[in-house]
């Protein structure tokens, strides 16, 4: 008997509470729909539901939606709507009609409300469904329980046909009941694609009847990493973890999603992220094993052997069953993060390269994906792959999911390939959403609600024709740090709702404060999930090198702060403009609304030295993603483990050479800088770091050299030196160059990450 960490299958028979049954109460008569419709025209009058209200739906398809809204209103308002025959007799009615002459977008709808009628017209069933979702958001319930809808005319259709959420269930899995609950909410916000990441190094989660070892071996890992993977040494929980979705579970989820107009796209990872599969079928790896499912998070060298025909036989066998289970047009075949280490020395892989006239291992990956694409297309389906499948040549019919940034998506669109934008910096929901110190562990990076909301999936680098290849946008939910549904919900909601508006509404129509107003109206729908309120938290950044700016994702809240180490309260100083920070010390701040504290307390340490706010000359500019201003290095704020908040200056494959000009000669006794060593993010310590001093800016004398950076994380270099007068301090850090073999990102450029030069 295997030990279960989670008694997963016990959940499967739970009665799933319908999302609709939990709707709460509305107070005001406003029309606050998310995602924002194309047009909302308010009209005079109100439609009042009563026991006499009839639902009119003529065709079988329309009737199905009538059943849906009837059961909703029965739960929500204790109202039993009558079914009309072919015509209405009641004074007021709800009329559902499919008519593609009135609205052409297959997901579009027109919702018209007058005192006597609510009419929803859709080009197709999806339009009716989305019209009903909008209707549900604007039905108001009085204290006595009466239901009404303000008169209006709404015309609505989406900008993007692909509006997705991805969910990784390999690292941690969630019950089908939980997934269904989330699907309810996703569909409520008109998200139409659920990308189900079913296989990875840490566990294979889909039942494949042809390969029983996937269930017996690949679905189970011996134990799991505790804490963040960047914390060394790694500690493990000693508990076996595993499980998988049976084919019955999968069919159930796919059908449930389809009823809610959500397409489920399965992802079967290849050729990398395959350790779990290899543990079950070791003959499919280049060295033959033994392998075991990974116990921690990362990128692993053992991948499917591309030289072995048995690999393709296995993948085809798996895909046969996958294609049978999932009716989606697209099958996601992964393709990301596949190290070429094993392939380089595997005789079978090398023979394949020779036989197929391939240039290198990148072309071998391309061969792999093309071969699988051919098979998938022979079954009438299309492939999606992560943007790495561009390397070595893109498969002819592939759709690219651009995750490392937008570059892959831009390149693919220019090649006339379809693209789904999922750049991690903007739409990864495993990133932090708050900078409060007590925040639970997340993967890394900082993506608050406003940042997701402001994302525009159509890059200016594309012309109008090329933009047509951007099918849409998706938020990705990697589950390494999501041990349970509570934590997952905290990370997903409400950021996925911002994504829903990014995906549906026109970029020019987006308005963040207006979105927040509408979001506040949604709390009655969101009560059933553990949604984050981090948008009330305060965060800050140094603006012009000397003034610190505080912000909250809630522009209308009042921020109060202290600089004396005490906790801010309703009497603390009100923040009204960026703060001058003359001395080292700690800032604490939080937000208030109507006198009540809303957010958590934000804390920022300042390290002020002779270098702070002085002029810095850089020999080479930093790379765009980690550039910000050149004052970053001397702004009094040290970079933290959140590597993308703008505090770290990053150089991809290049050295740092900075000269700080103190303005006049000073006696110097200490120098320092911060270096971020995150190999898991391709961020490497320099080969050599030197500090040199000069009086005239021409003749420099080296005062310190460092070759060792022992900390996996932030290395805060500080060195006392023999006192010496100088005006100029030159810091050189030599980039590691190419990432060594066996490391994450091997063969690519290393990032050199630096922040905060200290001179005392
Ligand atoms: C990915 O985030 N590795 C696609
Ligand atoms: Zn091989």
Ligand 1 atom with least separation from CA of 386: 4
Please spell the DSSP secondary structure of 609-654, one letter per residue: -TTTT-EEEESSPPPGGG---GGGGGSS----S-TTSS-SEEEES-
Q: What is the pLDDT of residue 24?
A: 34
pLDDT at 390: 95
Based on the residue annotation, tell me whether 200 is a catalytic residue of this protein.
yes
**Is the confidence at residue 1, as pLDDT, over 80?**
no
Q: Which of 335, 403, 409, 474 to mutate to test the pocket of ligand 1 (most atoms within 8 A of CB)?
A: 403
Indicate if ligand 1 lies below 6 Å from the C-beta of 403.
yes
Ligand closest to CA 338: 1
Average pLDDT over residues 579-595: 92
| Ligand 1 atom nearest to 334, measured from its CA | 4
Q: Is the pLDDT of residue 627 over 80?
A: no
Distance 260 CA to ligand 1 centre (A): 27
The reported pTM is 0.88
Decide: 298 in ligand 1 pocket, CB within 6 A: no
Is residue 68 over pLDDT 70?
A: yes
C-alpha of residue 405 to centroid of ligand 1, in Å: 11
Task: Name the residue with the closest Cα to ligand 1, atom 3.
Answer: 336
Q: Would you list the domain boundaries of the chain?
A: 10-156, 162-336+369-523, 537-606, 615-759
Given a contact cutoff of 8 angstroms between Cβ atoms, the answer to whether 138 and 111 are in contact is: no
Whole-angstrom Cα distance, residue 555 to residue 552? 6
pLDDT, residue 647, reads: 86
What is the per-residue pLDDT for 437? Answer: 81
CA dist 32 and 516 (Å) reads 10
**The pLDDT of residue 565 is above 50:** yes
- Looking at the CA of 307, name the nearest ligand: 2
Which class does domain 537-606 fall in?
Answer: mainly beta
Distance CA 505, CA 165 (A): 16
Q: In this predicted model, what pLDDT tens digit does every residue of 473-528 receive, in sequence order?
A: 999 999 999 999 999 999 999 999 999 999 999 999 999 999 999 999 998 899 99
Q: At 233, is the pLDDT very low, low, confident or very high (cuts 50, 70, 90)?
A: confident
The tens digit of pLDDT for each residue in 377-396 reads 999 999 999 999 999 899 89
Residue 718: the pLDDT is 95
**Which atom from ligand 1 is nearest to the alpha carbon of 337?**
3
Q: How confident is the model at residue 27 (pLDDT cuts 50, 70, 90)?
A: very low
Q: How far apart are CA 27 and CA 49, in angstroms?
A: 16
Per-residue pLDDT averaged across 362-372, rounded?
97
Q: Nearest residue CA, atom 2 of ligand 1?
A: 403
> Does the domain at residues 10-156 carry the CATH identifier 3.30.379.10?
yes
Tell me, using a 6 A CB cutoff, whether residue 337 lines ligand 1: yes
Least confident range from 333-342, 625-634, 749-758: namely 625-634
Which one of 1.10.10.10, 3.40.50.460, 2.40.110.10, 2.60.120.260 gives the CATH number of domain 615-759? 2.60.120.260
pLDDT over 90 percentage in the chain: 81
Residue 682 DSSP code: T
Q: Does position 541 have pLDDT exceeding 80, yes or no? A: yes
Ligand nearest to the CA of 278: 2
With pLDDT > 70 as the criterion, what percentage of the chain qualifies? 95
What single string gives the DSSP state of each residue in 366-428?
Answer: HHHHHHHHHHHHHTT-EEEEEGGGGTT---TTPEEEE-S-SHHHHHHHHTT--EEE--HHHHB
pLDDT confidence tier of residue 5, bands split at 50, 70 and 90: very low
Contacts of 73 (CB under 8 A, 6+ apart): 49, 79, 81, 147
Q: Is the confidence at residue 66, as pLDDT, over 60?
A: yes
Determine if ligand 1 sits within 6 Å of the CB of residue 336. Answer: yes
For residue 201, indicate whether it is catalytic: no
| pLDDT, position 329 | 98
Catalytic residue among 62, 337, 466, 692: 337
The answer, yes or no, to whether residue 16 has pLDDT greater than 80, is: no
Ligand nearest the Cα atom of residue 344: 2
Residue 340 CA to residue 390 CA, distance in Å, equals 15
pLDDT of 43 higher than 50: yes
Please check whether the domain covering 162-336+369-523 is classified as CATH 3.20.20.80.
yes
Q: Please tell me the predicted confidence (pLDDT) of residue 86.
A: 65
For residue range 276-294, what is the model confidence (pLDDT) as tens digits?
999 999 999 999 999 999 9
Any atom of ligand 1 within 6 Å of the Cβ of 405: no
Greater confidence (297 vs 87) lies with 297
362 CA → ligand 2 middle, Å: 13
pLDDT mean across residues, the chain: 92
- Of the residues 228, 273, 362, 417, only one is catalytic, namely 273
Chain segment 412-450, per-residue pLDDT in tens: 999 999 999 999 999 999 999 998 888 999 998 899 999
Q: Where is average pLDDT lowest: 214-223, 238-247, 588-597? A: 588-597
The 10s digit of each residue's pLDDT in 316-353 is 999 999 999 999 999 999 999 999 999 999 999 999 99
- Ligand 1 within 6 A of CB of 297: no
Of 73-87, 202-216, 629-643, which has the strongest mean pLDDT? 202-216
CA 385 to centroid of ligand 2, rounded, Å: 21
Query: What's the mean pLDDT in 27-50?
Result: 88
Q: What is the pLDDT of residue 646?
A: 80
Is 320 annotated as catalytic?
A: no
């Amino acid at each position: 008997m295997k030990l279960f960490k989670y008694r997963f299958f016990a959940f499967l028979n739970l009665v799933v509470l319908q999302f609709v049954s939990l709707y709460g109460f509305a107070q005001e008569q406003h029309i606050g729909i998310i995602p924002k419709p194309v047009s909302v025209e308010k009209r005079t009058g109100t439609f009042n539901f009563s026991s006499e209200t009839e639902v009119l739906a003529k065709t079988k398809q329309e009737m199905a939606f009538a059943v849906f809204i009837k059961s909703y209103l029965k739960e929500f308002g204790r109202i039993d709507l009558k079914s009309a025959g072919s015509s209405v007799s009641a004074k007021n009615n709800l009329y559902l009609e499919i008519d593609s002459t009135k609205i052409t977008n297959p997901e579009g709808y027109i919702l018209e409300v007058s005192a006597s009628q609510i009419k929803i017209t859709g080009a197709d069933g999806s339009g009716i469904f989305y019209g009903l979702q909008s209707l549900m958001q604007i039905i108001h319930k009085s204290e006595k329980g009466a239901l009404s809808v303000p008169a209006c005319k709404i015309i609505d259709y989406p900008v993007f046909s692909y509006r997705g959420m991805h969910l990784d269930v390999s690292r941690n899995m969630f019950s089908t009941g939980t997934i269904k609950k989330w699907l309810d909410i996703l569909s409520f916000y008109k998200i139409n694609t659920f990308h189900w990441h079913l296989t990875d190094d840490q566990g294979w989660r889909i039942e494949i009847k042809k390969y029983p070892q996937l269930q017996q071996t690949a679905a189970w890992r011996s134990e799991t990493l505790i804490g963040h993977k960047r914390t060394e040494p790694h500690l493990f929980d000693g508990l076996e973890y595993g499980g998988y979705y049976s084919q019955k579970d999968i069919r159930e989820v796919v059908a449930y999603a389809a009823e809610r107009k959500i397409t489920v796209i399965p992802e079967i990872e290849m050729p990398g992220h395959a350790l779990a599969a290899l543990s079950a079928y070791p003959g499919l790896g280049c060295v033959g094993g033994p392998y075991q499912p990974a116990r921690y998070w990362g990128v692993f060298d053992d991948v499917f052997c591309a030289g072995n025909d048995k690999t393709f036989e296995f993948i085809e066998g798996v895909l046969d069953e996958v294609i049978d289970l999932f009716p989606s047009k697209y099958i996601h075949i992964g393709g990301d993060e596949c190290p070429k280490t094993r392939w380089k020395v595997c005789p079978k892989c090398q023979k394949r390269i020779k036989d197929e006239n391939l240039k290198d291992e990148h072309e071998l990956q391309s061969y792999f994906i093309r071969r699988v694409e051919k098979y998938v297309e022979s079954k009438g389906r299309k492939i999606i792959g992560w943007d790495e499948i561009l390397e070595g040549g893109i498969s002819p019919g592939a759709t690219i999911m651009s995750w490392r940034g937008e570059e892959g998506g831009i390149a693919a669109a220019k090649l006339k390939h379809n693209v789904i934008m999922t750049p991690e910096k903007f739409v990864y929901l495993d990133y932090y959403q708050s900078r409060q110190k007590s925040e639970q562990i997340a993967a890394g990076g900082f993506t608050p609600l406003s940042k997701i909301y402001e994302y525009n999936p159509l890059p200016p680098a594309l012309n109008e024709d090329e933009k047509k290849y951007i099918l849409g946008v998706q938020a990705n939910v990697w589950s390494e740090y999501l041990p349970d549904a509570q934590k997952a919900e905290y990370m997903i909601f409400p950021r996925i709702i911002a994504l829903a508006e990014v995906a549906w509404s026109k970029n020019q129509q987006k308005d963040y404060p207006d979105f927040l107003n509408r979001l506040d109206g949604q709390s009655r729908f969101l009560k059933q999930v553990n949604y984050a309120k981090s948008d009330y938290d305060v965060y800050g950044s140094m603006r012009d090198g000397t003034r610190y700016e505080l912000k909250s994702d809630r522009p209308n809240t009042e921020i109060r702060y202290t600089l004396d180490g005490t906790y801010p309260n309703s009497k603390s100083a009100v923040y009204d403009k960026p703060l001058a920070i003359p001395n080292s010390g700690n800032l604490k701040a939080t937000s208030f609304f109507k006198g009540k504290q809303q957010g958590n307390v934000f804390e920022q340490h300042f390290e002020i030295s002779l270098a702070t706010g002085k002029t810095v000359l850089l020999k080479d500019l930093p790379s765009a993603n980690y550039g910000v201003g050149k004052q970053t290095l001397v702004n009094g704020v040290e970079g933290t483990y959140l590597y993308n908040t703008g505090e770290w200056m990053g150089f991809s494959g290049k050295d740092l050479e900075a000269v700080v000009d103190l303005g006049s000669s000073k006696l110097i006794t200490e120098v320092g800088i911060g270096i971020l060593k995150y190999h898991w993010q391709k961020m490497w310590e320099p080969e050599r770091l030197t500090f040199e001093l000069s009086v005239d800016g021409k003749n420099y004398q080296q005062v310190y050299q460092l070759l060792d950076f022992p900390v996996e994380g932030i290395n805060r270099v500080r060195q006392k030196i023999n006192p010496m007068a100088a005006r100029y301090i030159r810091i050189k850090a030599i980039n590691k160059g190419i990432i060594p073999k066996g490391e994450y990102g091997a063969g690519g450029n290393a990032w050199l990450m630096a922040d905060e030069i200290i001179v005392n």
